[in-house]
Amino acid sequence: MAITLNNGFKLPVIGLGVWRMEGKDIRDLIINAINIGYRHFDCAADYKNEAEVGEALAEAFRSGIVKREDLFITTKLWNSDHAHVVEACKDSLKKLQLDYLDLYLVHFPVSTKHTGVGETGSSLDEDGVLEIDTTISLETTWHAMEDLVSVGLVRSIGISNYDIFLTRDCLAYSKVKPAVNQIETHPYFQRDSLVKFCQKHGICVTAHTPLGGAVANNEWFGTVSCLDDPTLTGLAKKYKKTVAQIVLRWGIQRNTVVIPKSSKLERLEENFLVSDFELTKEDMDVIKSMDRKYRTNQPAKFWGVDLYA
């Protein structure tokens, strides 16, 4: 299953996110995922594991279990590199051992103090507040992203964590339209207006926290996941599926791409097996009624400023 992007490239609707995946586990994770059938991997410079992902991908290509052209690889420009887009992209490509990226995203709509290409620092001032760079506009950053397409380093470019206003602006000033907006969206934080706005204007929406963050966001941000909600556990029993499978299927039926993360083989397999059933319109509506407008990914905890305020 894949969604055709506004430039004709196809993005698999199920991917594997590698946030918080650590060194020695990544090789097995990537190889196992490829063997299961995953063809879409979501990375980021800020995850600080591109080199390990690159080693695993190189092994997969060498062994012949998959070809480069069979995979869709995404990574992201960090906030501190908005004035160094080309250099940052080349740094990610080197670490990933790739000649091109399928998709390169602006990770957050904010430029911060430069800390060195690929260093992905979040420099804080003496009050513990993120040092935002006010000299670089998002438009300037975007035009540098467009240059990556022109020179063949990247096939598609997109945005991440952009709201309706910023997405509209990007559509207005772009020569190459954003192919994707990667946002947090799940049953507790559905963001229907943003999702529909993007889709209306030809931008594919990818859910970077499709299961509501689960254990990862609980550990980092103290937030709760929707996976324990009795409504969803009831639907899981009805369809004889896991709660995660129900939530991922809901995301796919909204025409969004989902990129759950898991380091457990059993979960990797479960999360991928969501094409053999369909939620009824009534059950889609039940899940729609669960929206709490509840964001679970809260970087303000580390940045000393709420960029969503």
- The stretches of 180-280 forming alpha helices (DSSP H) are 192-200, 214-221, 230-239, 243-253, 265-272
107 has binding-site annotation = yes
Phi, psi of 90 (to 5 degrees): -65, -35
The DSSP line for 174-191 is -SS--SEEEE--BTTB--
Catalytic residue among 47, 104, 162, 188: 47
Distances (CA, A) of 174 to 9, 106, 141, 236: 19, 14, 11, 42
Cα angle vertex 273, ends 267, 279, to 5°?
115
Q: How far apart are CA 161 and CA 166, in angstroms?
A: 9
What's the half-sphere exposure (Cβ side, CA atoms, 13 Å) at 74?
32
**307 burial type by CB count under 10 A (0-12 exposed, 13-18 middle, 19+ buried):** middle
**Are the beta carbons of 5 and 156 closer than 8 angstroms?**
yes
Is 188 considered catalytic here? no
The catalytic residue positions are: 47
Annotated binding site for substrate: 107
Annotated binding site: 107
